[in-house]
Chain A
Amino acid sequence: MSTTTRPAPVAPEADLASLLPRSWKVPIALTVFTLLSAVAFALTTKATAVSRVAIMTGTTGLGTINLTFGTLRWSWALTAVMAAFTGFAWWAAANRIHQVGQLPVGTTVGTIVGVGFVCTFLLWAVADKASPLQFTGLLSGALFLSVPLIFGAMAGSVCEHVGVINVSIEGQLLAGAFLAAVVGAVTKNAWLGLLAAPVAGALIGALLALFAVRYWVDHIIVGVVLNVLVSGLTSYLFSTVLSQNTAVFSVAAKLPTWKIPLLGEIPVLGPVLFQQNVLVYIMYVGVFVLQIMMFHSRWGLRLRSCGEHPRAADTVGIKVNRTRVLNTILGGAIAGLGGAYFTVAAGLAFGKDMSGGRGYIALAAMILGGWRPKAALLAALLFGFADNLQNALGIVGVAVPSQFMLMAPYLVTIFAVAGLVGRVRAPAMEGKAYKG
């Protein structure tokens, strides 16, 4: 997970490492997944079953490749790969090996086994179905669903690195969605809506900063209560002002979809990544810029010092509380921009509580990504994928109750928080007021 450069372990450290207790959490978890894959999927497959997968190659639906897999053979092959990596994890745990080169063992092997598990499940689920699995649609839908999560996770990591826990991502998303929809509808211009969204989020961020930094109220309390406040406020305005003027407000402005020249022509990936609306492109740039700025810039260093050791930061002349307030507002603005996804990016009018708890999932994605924008992006994509899986499998007509598929990402998060990312460390002084 870590890409920060770390000096090669010197002898005393290596000695210390050998004294650390062995951690069996990762290999045990991976073994469970591998066994589940073998017992639940591979063993229950008929020998003659085939799974069909459709992959779009061109920009339109015309260029489609249909792939056919022998379900039994492929699921055993995938399970064997999972078993091999699980064995490696056992070996690494026994020898206290946490890193191979730059790659951390737990996360890397966990990701590989997880992908293997999902592939086995997909093959098993679509075995002998009349219509093929629309693979391209599955991926592009997953990307689209993960947009608010990624913005939320970016907002969360900015706030938490500066030392303010931001549970009000949910409220910031909802406020952004609301203002974007209202401004977009009144001006009949989606672009102005997109500009208004971060303003709403920044306002909620400012409230969070006011109570958390100025008045030392517990950050989680402020966050939860702000979520209730935004939900009540937007629902109230929706039921009154917006419902009284449906002629104006039920008309939704929509951002256009842009195809990036050249990149949009890449087979498979082009339609997924580069035929989206501008919010998605802002997201790509945002994650990239934030990842670099946070760990390789003066702003990032000051930001993180306020979250790790505010007294030290104060000593060298950084105004801790000012930095905290400004960056909490910035975080709110990022989340608010993500809120535009629900309304102007999707082309929908505002609806009550339309963020639907995604702010909380964004928080989980941020933690799963170890407070790093880049890794949080991957975690958010995982959630988006699981969310979209039930759409894609619903079209194919799979018998698994949809509730259990919807449950999956939440269970994965619990699992990850308890096992795989147990060692990931939050900024040291997050949630603690600096009373300097």
Chain B
Amino acid sequence: MGELSPEQATTGSRVRRAMRDVATSQATLIILSIVVALVVGALLIAGADAGVRSSIGYVFARPSDFFSALGHAVGGAYSSLFQGAIFNLNPSDNIAFLAPLANTVAYSVPLIFAGLGLGIGFRGGLFNIGGQGQIILGGLLCGYIGFAWHLPVGLHLVVCVLGAFVGGALWGFIPGILRAKTGANEVIVTIMLNAVAGFLLAWFLTLRAFQANLNTPISPSVAATARFPHFFGTAIDLGFVLALAAAVGVWWLMERSTLGFRIRLVGENPEAAKTAGMNASMTYVWVMVIAGGLAGLAATSQLLSGVAQQLNGNIAGTFGFDAITVALLGRSKPLGTVLAGLLFGGLRAGGYIMQSATGTPIDIILVLQSVIVLLIAAPPLVKAIFRLPDPERRRQHLAKVAARTVRKEAVA
């Protein structure tokens, strides 16, 4: 570089640097990860397709059979995934055209709530795997207030949402205070509390007060006074607005408030925080309470919007674990979490359509999600797959060469 004339250096290297910046940027990394995940998914779809498997036996004799079967299986699955998540290409009207997008938004709401909560934990240096249990407790309280209490419209909804937050916060408080007071590892405590919450929910659903019909573990429906209003007759409702508001709130908390500063510092370096006179233990409690509360809010999307608005044994689904991948993909930042939530919400919305249209089981969505997150966590791997420039590796290589030269000179 140094031997180029100043003119050449500015024009030549600027283009090259721009190219390198594009190739190594975060967005490229995410897009390439999604591409790899889709390729892995395509292999699985093709592998499970009877037509593909029978035609691969004579692929060299009649390759067209193989490729048409492959295209039919993979193309069919992915086109229904796309149409289920973004645009319906055979719509009856404008609303139907955009209905899949609305479904995507609706499916993303619990992921965003829980993902925001887990993200705060990650930034505070806590690995909270307890999203599942926190959602269950939020759902228990929110659901009970929803179907058992009688309050005026509006107030009822507010109390229900608060209930969801308090329930989750309570379940987050336990690992937080145990970590602060006894040093108990929060990973283990939250895993255990997930199981405890599951059994607790199962027990509550055996009580008559929690059953709509005798001996059926399904609660009565939440009262109409406590449901989120819908927008424009679509699946989008106030819950999504609330999720966006929560994202803004988390942004303010983490970037602008004193507590957020403390959380970030404790997460980066607890020793430094203690030296600076901060109470790291109390910060852990706050992190877990807020994280749990946000995860608890995820329960509102089944209870206050959704189809059934009933409490059942599957209130938390797999949101607690999906939210971990959402928070990781979103790098624990509010905007990233919202976008990641929308991506995974879209995969889920599309996955259901794909399952009913082409018979491809929705479980493949889990594979796509986990491949995306694994690759995003390991940028060098993506760069190695696509042979992109890797500044880190280049630096290491140069250092190695330099060391070798020095050694040679020393020997000489």
* Residues on A facing B (Cβ under 8 Å): 25, 167, 211, 215, 217-218, 220-222, 224-229, 231-233, 235-237, 239-241, 244, 357, 360, 363-364, 367, 401, 403-404, 406-407, 410-411, 413-414, 417-419, 422
Contacts and interface: CB of A to CB of B under 8 A. Distances in A.
Contacts of B129: 224
B224 interface: no
A228 B366 contact: yes
Contacts of A221: 324, 328, 373, 377
Contact of B182 (A224, A235, A367, A418): A418
Give 6 nearest A-B pairs by CB, closest first: A232-B366, A240-B48, A229-B370, A215-B378, A235-B363, A239-B361
Interface of B: 44, 47-48, 50, 127, 129, 174, 178, 182-185, 187-189, 191-193, 195-196, 199-200, 202-203, 206, 321-322, 324-325, 328, 360-361, 363-367, 369-371, 373-374, 377-378, 380-381
25 contacts: A211-B377, A211-B381, A217-B374, A220-B127, A220-B187, A222-B377, A229-B367, A229-B374, A232-B370, A233-B44, A233-B366, A239-B363, A240-B48, A240-B360, A240-B361, A241-B47, A364-B188, A364-B191, A403-B200, A407-B200, A414-B192, A417-B185, A417-B188, A422-B182, A422-B184
A49 B328 CA distance: 57
Nearest to A401: B203
B178 A414 contact: yes
A423 to B, nearest CB: 9
B209 to A, nearest CB: 15
B376 to A, nearest CB: 10
B370 A225 contact: yes
Given A240-B360, A403-B199, 10 more contacts: A211-B374, A217-B374, A221-B373, A226-B374, A228-B321, A232-B364, A232-B369, A357-B195, A403-B202, A414-B193
Nearest to A236: B363
A236 B184 CA distance: 37
Nearest to A364: B188
A312 B258 CA distance: 41
A225 B374 CA distance: 7
B367 A404 contact: no
Nearest to B182: A418
A237 B48 contact: yes
B361 A236 contact: yes
Contacts of A237: 48
A380 B373 CA distance: 32
Contacts of A215: 377-378, 380-381
Contacts of A414: 174, 178, 184, 188-189, 192-193, 196
B196 A410 contact: yes
A167 B127 CA distance: 12
Nearest to A216: B378
A244 B328 CA distance: 35
Given A403-B202, A403-B203, A417-B184, A228 B369 contact: yes
B321 A224 contact: yes
A236 B189 CA distance: 30
Which applies to chain B's interface (DSSP): helix, strand, loop or mixed? helix
Contacts of A406: 199
A224 B196 CA distance: 19
A363 B367 contact: no
B366 A235 contact: yes
Contacts of B328: 221, 225
Nearest to A244: B50
Nearest to B359: A240
Contacts of A25: 182
A231 B325 CA distance: 14
A228 B364 contact: no
Contacts of B188: 363-364, 367, 413-414, 417
A229 B366 contact: yes
Nearest to A231: B366
A241 B363 CA distance: 13
A235 B127 contact: no
Contacts of B184: 414, 417-418, 422
B377 A417 contact: no
A232 B44 CA distance: 11
B200 to A, nearest CB: 7
A235 B361 contact: yes
Contacts of B182: 25, 418-419, 422
A417 B365 contact: no
A363 B178 contact: no
Contacts of A220: 127, 187
Nearest to B379: A215
A391 to B, nearest CB: 15
A150 to B, nearest CB: 18
A344 B66 CA distance: 36
Contacts of B47: 241
Contacts of A227: 321
A418 B178 contact: yes
A333 B199 CA distance: 31
A406 B188 CA distance: 17
Contacts of A363: 188, 191
A199 to B, nearest CB: 19
Given A236-B44, A419-B182, A401 B377 contact: no
A427 B185 CA distance: 14
B366 A404 contact: no
Most A CB atoms within 10 A — which of B185, B188, B322, B328?
B188
A229 B192 contact: no
A334 to B, nearest CB: 20
A404 B50 CA distance: 47
B341 to A, nearest CB: 16
Contacts of B195: 357, 407, 410
A68 B193 CA distance: 38
Contacts of A422: 182-184
Nearest to B322: A228
B377 A218 contact: yes
B193 A217 contact: no
B237 to A, nearest CB: 28
A411 B322 CA distance: 25
A32 to B, nearest CB: 15
Contacts of A211: 374, 377-378, 381
A222 B374 contact: yes
Most A CB atoms within 10 A — which of B48, B365, B369?
B48
A160 to B, nearest CB: 12
A404 B373 CA distance: 36
B198 to A, nearest CB: 9
B196 A411 contact: yes
A367 B183 CA distance: 14
B377 A217 contact: yes
Contacts of A239: 361, 363
A407 B199 contact: yes
Contacts of A407: 195-196, 199-200
Nearest to B49: A240
Contacts of B380: 215
Contacts of B371: 229
Contacts of A418: 178, 182, 184, 189
Contacts of A167: 187
